[in-house]
Structure 1
């Protein structure tokens, strides 16, 4: 992978993370700026303190915005913005195969 490809990949990942943060804030009607959510911040528990209802809302948002389905088997990907981005990228790669 050359430098330009690497920079493009980094830029795409940053954009995806920003889109995920915006989706979370919009989907949950949070009264915070998406910029205040860090990529590795836990979304549940001591992080944003989201609950099980919020999990369902995020799953709906992922379906609506990214055309990605969540099931009970892959809910561990909802732990942080980075984990969600990993899942979205993995699903996109699987769809392109």
Structure 2
């Protein structure tokens, strides 16, 4: 899962144009939203589209589960690994 983790971190940085942030700066288990990386709902939508394109995995943005999937890099990687086509 290490390679996937690195890919997801880079995807987050590239998709959201996060300047001055390197993959190593994003902790695997830290929250991505609010207190963690500080992402918002628009970022989640953009990231969801990028994940769909990169991994052919769709995250339903309207479901309660989507909040759990987007919680951290770890939860995103687990979701992608379980649902990859």
- What TM-score comes out, normalization by structure 2 length? 0.90
Larger relative contact order (C-alpha < 8 A, sep ≥ 6)? Answer: 2
Moved over 2 A (4+): none
The alignment covers a number of residue pairs equal to 81
Q: What CA deviation, in whole Å up to 9, does each residue of 1:8-37 have, x standing for no partner?
A: xxxxx0000000000000000001111110
Question: Which residue of the partner structure matches residue 3 of structure 1?
Answer: none
The one of 68, 81, 84 equivalent to 2:76 is 84
The one of 16, 29, 44 equivalent to 1:40 is 29
- What TM-score comes out, normalization by structure 1 length? 0.79
Question: Which residue of the partner structure matches residue 5 of structure 1?
Answer: none
Question: Which has more radius of gyration?
Answer: 1
CA RMSD in angstroms comes to 1.0
Q: What CA deviation, in whole Å up to 9, does each residue of 1:46-83 have, x standing for no partner?
A: 10010110000110110111111010223120000000
Q: Distance in 1 between matches of 2:49 and 2:24?
A: 22
